[in-house]
Amino acid sequence: MAKSPVHPGAVIDGFVVGECVHAGGMATLWSVTRADIDRPLLMKIPRVAEGEDPAAIVSFEMEQLILPKLSGPHVPACFGIGDFAHQAYVVIERIPGETLYKRLPELPLAYEEARGLVTGIATALADLHKQHVIHHDIKPSSIMFRPSGEAVLIDYGLSCHKHLPDLLQEEFRLPYGTAPYMAPERLTGVRNDPRSDLFSLGVLLYFFTTAVRPFGETETLRGMQRRLWRDPYPPRQLKADYPPWLQEIVLRCLEIEPKGRYPTAAQLAFDLSHPDQVKLTARAEKAKRDSITTVWRRRFNRGLVQPESVADVAAQIASSPIVAIAVDTAEGTDELNGALRLAAARILAPLPAARLACVNVLKLGRITIDRTLDEQGKNKHVDRLVQLRHWASPLKLDASRLTVHVLEAVDPASAILEFAKANQVDHIIIGARRDSVLRTLLGSVSAKIAAEANCTVTVVRPPRLAAGGMAVAEAAKPAKR
């Protein structure tokens, strides 16, 4: 038998092959080096021998198409691909450490630890979706964490990209994926809805906090189809101390219909980052599975069994932004606050899935000792939270779409910018005050935010009477990403 071209010491397109580090069912991984690349590398080789699953070849082609188009800390960097005419491969960076699969013997994890892990994964998913990719195989063995803390999503053989052909969809009729984590709509052929990844992440969060998979270990298509009408046991039925906010998040991710889940991974990450502000519904207190009547109604209602598909990943994200508005409750004039409210209403009106984060900065002194109570003995932080909710009340937003945040910082502009970055804010609305000598010398908060934010920024000026008696406001152009 001819020697395989891939073996220790072989040279493929300048890559020197080292040891085989993993032999999986669809591909093998080899350590490789190249003189001009100073970081550890892995070469992934598909299994193409006689009798191998044809889907393994197609999924490898998808990985070859998608990986070179990805960038950022949440994906492995790609350094080369080889075609099937000579030797098919992809070369990616070798991320130190193990996948989350290695943590399964430790389950269940503490709630706070699981929350931190899944927040990082949701953040990675949000970044991936913005690059027009749906992963379709979110599970413990597809997730790693960099030493710097960022979650990294690996294995893109089952993924689809908005701007690339979906070879799996074109060539196969059966859904491919990991059965315990597969979203219901995947069983009906829907592959262009990013909320499928949120369902899988909900399964992972359920599993990591209860040590029980919500839909069991079944691998049969018939068994998997039950999730089209059958909900899982609520986590609190398995663990009496399960936090209501966490059950709310988990069960929202596991809604059978995609429209019942979080609209975006960024909004899921936001709720995980602010558990004290999660809007609790009947999900949070649910102690039993749905009644048999509800289950049978789902089973024989074709509208529910065949969920609606979204237009594409970009459209889903664009329709569900996170908007942050900076409200100055201490010094803000009624005119400016009214203008800010009007701007927020106009931006949110065509976006029913958008959410609004009202932010106020409690400015700290650089060298003074700050007091938590004001002259009337009220807690400053709590008082401003109340004021923010009062400011937002005329907008009449559903409680699930509104959060309020008081940040304590010496530099208000930096605090708002950091909040926007940490919470994947898509749009910042901030007021600009009238000119003053101090602001001329030191620069304004709104100017710094407009200059440095990596998202769209709208700057609203207090209304002034223009010719003809019309109130006017100014809006900044979107900041460059």
Banded model confidence at residue 375, pLDDT cuts 50, 70, 90: low
Banded model confidence at residue 336, pLDDT cuts 50, 70, 90: confident
In 35-123, beta strands by DSSP E:
37-46, 78-82, 89-93
Read off the pLDDT of residues 217-235 as tens digits, 9 standing for 90 and up. 877 788 888 899 999 999 9
Token pair 């005329």 in the structure block, residue: 394
So what's the pLDDT on residue 438? Answer: 43
pLDDT at 194 over 50: yes
So what's the pLDDT on residue 369? Answer: 46
So what's the pLDDT on residue 318? Answer: 92
Taking all residues of the chain, what is their mean pLDDT, rounded to a whole number? 87
Q: pTM for this one?
A: 0.90
So what's the pLDDT on residue 467? Answer: 42
Read off the pLDDT of residues 454-473 as tens digits, 9 standing for 90 and up. 999 999 987 664 444 334 34
Token pair 């964490």 in the structure block, residue: 145
Domains of the chain (ranges; CATH) run 11-93 (3.30.200.20), 100-313 (1.10.510.10), 321-460 (3.40.50.620)
Read off the pLDDT of residues 105-131 as tens digits, 9 standing for 90 and up. 999 999 999 999 999 999 999 999 999
Q: Measured between alpha carbons, how far is 157 from 279 in angstroms, rounded to an integer?
A: 36
More confident site: 301 or 302: 301
So what's the pLDDT on residue 376? Answer: 57
**Residues 131, 70: contact at Cβ < 8 Å?**
yes
Q: Which residues pair with 438 in a beta bridge?
A: none
Q: Measured between alpha carbons, how far is 99 from 261 in angstroms, rounded to an integer?
A: 26
> And the tokens for 256?
């059978």
Give 402's Cβ-side CA count (13 Å radius). 17
Nearest Cα residue to 308 out of 420, 167, 209, 188 = 188
Which own/partner pairs from 149-152 qualify as long-range (CB within 8 Å, at least 24 positions apart)?
149/120, 150/73, 150/74, 150/120, 150/123, 150/124, 151/74, 151/117, 151/120, 151/121, 151/123, 151/124, 152/73, 152/74, 152/75, 152/76, 152/95, 152/124
Mean pLDDT of 312-316: 87
So what's the pLDDT on residue 305? Answer: 45
